[in-house]
Structure 1
Amino acid sequence: MKTKILLIEDDENISELVKYNLTRAEFSVITAADGEEGLLLATEESPDLILLDWMLPNLSGLEICRRLRRNNSTAHTPILMLTARADEPDRIRGLETGADDYITKPFSPKELVARIQAVLRRVRPALAAEQLRFKDIILDNVSHQVTRAEKPVHLGPTEYRLLRHFMENPGRVFSREQLLDSVWGYDVYVEPRTVDVHIRRLRKAINGDTLPDYIRTVRSAGYALDTTNAI
């Protein structure tokens, strides 16, 4: 499952350059050309990181950053600002508004990729971890093996990706549509109810007949991995 990045940038040439280099670095990239579209995609697509231009049509990058930080679903999403504003007061404003890092134009594509990876390691260490752990569940990103209570768990490819996504974001509630985009891919059409089928398979595989169920169904919202009401 590739790390998903939302690029909010109105300059078409820069947008294409960034998308090309991030795709080569094996990121999944979604683009928006103005602030309003960017805000919508940030909520709908649940990106792992947002690249945000400062000067945008309709809404400035600073205002977008403020709104993202006030929204519960995006409050903790890493934000890296791209801007031609190189003065120290501007950098400080961007960071104080909620950006996790700041890179000025023009920039090296290699540096941008390195900055993104550094932010992800710092803010979302699970994305770079060789092993993910949640209670007695261990998922090994290298061997693609899963154990629970020290016993192997056999998962299909989709169930494995679902579990990994939940373990990278423990406690966060995802709608069926968000899971489809993150696990299946936003360019693949699958019926939302398909998610329910794979959730049932995942539960059966990791819970067996006796272990507590850590996958919580949130009525009218979706699913989350946590210990609330685990039985």
Structure 2
Amino acid sequence: MSTHKILVIDDSKVIRMRVKDMLPEGNFDIIEAKDGLEGFNLIRTENPNLIMLDFLLPKMSGWEVYQEIQKQSQYRSIPLVLMSGRKEEVTDKITEPFEYFSFVEKPFDKEQLINAIRDAMMKAKKQPQSLTTASPQASVGATADISALNAEIERLKSKVYRLEQESEQIKKQFNQLVTFIKQKIR
């Protein structure tokens, strides 16, 4: 059983399942909440290593959840990814650049999600620290999360490099074919 908890707060089951499917298998325990109130209660009881928060939610909006997180220092240090299909709704409440959390616009792909999580982890470190210290277990969990994400990013970079090489080879072959056809036409 994984000790790395990701809390996904979104009223769309499709988004919750999509996030779950995009994360590296076996590295995370995904906790789901379908509204802001349920999500905020899970933040308090589950102590997640990462929070993915939709901005438009029933019962308690993502904006209200965000404000509650900011009020309590033990929650501010949890990496946060805000999600919305309309970025302007977020920027109406919180001006850019987003200093302490990451933003990903819906719909997003796996690479955008991984980049947003990585960005959120870096930004969470910038949060002013409270006088209470984090538990060693929480630190180990965050380090393992970062390691898993870094490994996934490196795998994706390798895949991109391989695809770029294949693309260059195809371009060369295409140019040779065009040259051959031009010679035959003359």
TM-score tier after normalising by the smaller chain length: 0.5 to 0.7
Which TM-score applies when normalising by structure 2?
0.60
Mapping 1:3-152, distance limit 5 Å: 3-24=4-25, 26-87=27-88, 90-91=90-91, 93-94=93-94, 100-124=101-125
Contact 1:52/1:80 (CA < 8 Å) preserved in 2? yes
Per-residue deviation, 1:115: 1.6
The residue type equivalent to 2:52 in the other structure is L
SS of the aligned residue for 2:75 comes to coil
For residue 137 of structure 2, the aligned residue among 165, 172, 192 is: 165
The residue identity in structure 1 corresponding to 2:93 is R
Structure 2: how far apart are the matches of 1:18 and 1:167?
23
Structure 1 contact 23–29 (Cα < 8 Å) conserved: no
Q: CA deviation at 1:72?
A: 3.7
* Cα contact 1:6–1:29 (8 A) shared by 2: yes
CA distance in 2, matches of 1:59, 1:50: 15
Mind listing any 5+ residue stretches in structure 2 that lack a counterpart? 127-134, 142-186
Instruction: Say whether the 8 Å CA contact 1:22–1:28 is kept in structure 2.
Output: no
2:35, 2:50 → 1: CA distance?
17
1:106-159: per-residue Cα shift (whole Å, max 9, x none)? 11122102220232244349xxxxxxxxxxxxxxxxxxxxxxxxxxxxxxxxxx
Structure 1 counterpart of 2:91, one-letter code: R
Q: CA RMSD in A?
A: 2.9
The 2-side partners of 1:53 and 1:33 are apart by 10
Normalized per residue, the structure richer in helix is 2
Q: Is the 8 A contact 1:5 1:28 kept in 2?
A: yes
Structure 1 stretches lacking a partner, 5+ long:
126-162, 170-231
The residue identity in structure 1 corresponding to 2:37 is E
Q: Which of the pair has more CA radius of gyration?
A: 2
* Cα-to-partner distance string for 1:3-50 (whole Å, 9 max, x where unaligned): 321110000111111112225372221110011100100011111111
Q: What is the CA-CA distance between 1:86 and the residue it aligns to? A: 2.6
Number of residue pairs aligned between Structure 1 and Structure 2: 131
| Shift in alpha-carbon separation, 1:24–1:35, aligned structure 2, 3 A | same
Work out the percentage of aligned pairs sharing the same amino acid.
27
Greater strand fraction, Structure 1 or Structure 2: 1
Distance 1:124 1:3, change over 3 A: farther
Contact 1:35/1:57 (<8 A) preserved? yes
Q: Which has the higher contact order (CA 8 A, sep 6+)?
A: 2
